[in-house]
Structure 1
Amino acid sequence: MAVAFEAAILCDDIRQEVNGKQILIGAYTGNIIFSGFPAAGQFFVFAKTESLPVGQHSLSVRLRFANKDIGTVQGEVSIETQGGLWLPLNTPPISFPGEGELEAQYIDSEGKWITFLSIPIRGGQVPGT
């Protein structure tokens, strides 16, 4: 069974506490704004899977910017208790030549890529500066 995602948060970093809790640092709630282009960034996608039965499940996730592939991750997820789980996915360093959409997609059981996260990359005045 292919892993599907129902929610995701893009952030600058994810840290795990000793008690297993996750700390999301720099969560993005809208546009990512750069003061100029070209620009670069590296992020985490904290993604929640749909409910999965116990067992092994295949995982395929890709990142795209301006309709071009940045990278793909493939593997398996082992589910020990039925339900959904949150997965921290680290992106590679990304170069942004200009404005566009940063997207995370998974491949469904029919082989179709489904977008589960889309964040606009924009130029302008960076908030708080």
Structure 2
Amino acid sequence: MKVDLPSVAFEYAFVCDDVRQDTNAKYIFIGAYVNNILLTETPAFIRLRLVMRFYPKVSKFSLGLRISLNGKVLKIIDATIMSPLLDPETLPSPDLDLDVLGPGTLSFDVTDEDISAGAGPDVRWSRLYEIPVINVAPTGPLS
């Protein structure tokens, strides 16, 4: 999903369990989710990373990230992004520790407004990514 904000344009995003960077500065994405997140029970505590590919339009900008499940906000993060060369970048989020109370749609919204003092009702959010969270019956020898 492409999102074009005044100071940054996003090409794509996805979620995974972890991101590591090797000595050659290459990213290793572990447990990338393709179509949905499958949980054997809810409520559940999950840790995710959101990976974003973006094109900065200015060398320094604010980036706000809002994560919600079925419209209920779970977490809001704000950051200042420095990109002096205005090169395209791939940026993994910090660990996102989320309490998922049930199945539904996990949504990731972004803004380039400064939300460091809080995200009031006038902040314009844009949907960057969403993924269904589904309860499934446990399978295998331990079920």
TM range (shorter): 0.7 to 0.9
Give the C-alpha shift of residue 48 in structure 1.
Answer: 1.0
TM-score where L is the length of structure 1: 0.86
Structure 2 residues not aligned, in runs of 5+? 1-5, 114-121
Pairing 1:36–2:36 present = no
Give the C-alpha shift of residue 116 in structure 1.
Answer: 0.8
Structure 1 residues not aligned, in runs of 5+? none
Flag the 1:66–1:76 CA change in 2: closer, same or farther, 3 A: same
1:118 match: secondary structure = strand
| Sequence identity (%) | 28
In the alignment, which of 11, 16, 23 is matched to residue 6 of structure 1?
11
In the alignment, which of 6, 17, 22 is matched to residue 17 of structure 1?
22
TM-score where L is the length of structure 2: 0.79
- Moved >3 Å (runs of 4+): 1-4, 108-111, 125-129
**Deviation per CA, 1:67-102, whole angstroms, max 9, x where unpaired?**
111111112111122232111102432112211111
Flag the 1:119–1:127 CA change in 2: closer, same or farther, 3 A: farther
Give the C-alpha shift of residue 31 in structure 1.
Answer: 1.2
RMSD: 2.2
Flag the 1:102–1:126 CA change in 2: closer, same or farther, 3 A: farther
In the alignment, which of 98, 101, 124 is matched to residue 94 of structure 1?
98
Mapped to 1, the partners of 2:59 and 2:41 lie a distance apart of 46
Give the C-alpha shift of residue 127 in structure 1.
Answer: 7.5
Contact 2:49 2:96 in 1 (8 A): no
Mapped to 1, the partners of 2:42 and 2:56 lie a distance apart of 41
Q: Report the number of matched residues.
A: 128
Give the C-alpha shift of residue 114 in structure 1.
Answer: 0.8
Contact 1:4 1:106 in 2 (8 A): no
1:81 match: secondary structure = coil
> For structure 1, which segment, 69-78 or 91-100, has the greater mean C-alpha deviation from structure 2 after superposition?
91-100
Give the C-alpha shift of residue 4 in structure 1.
Answer: 4.1
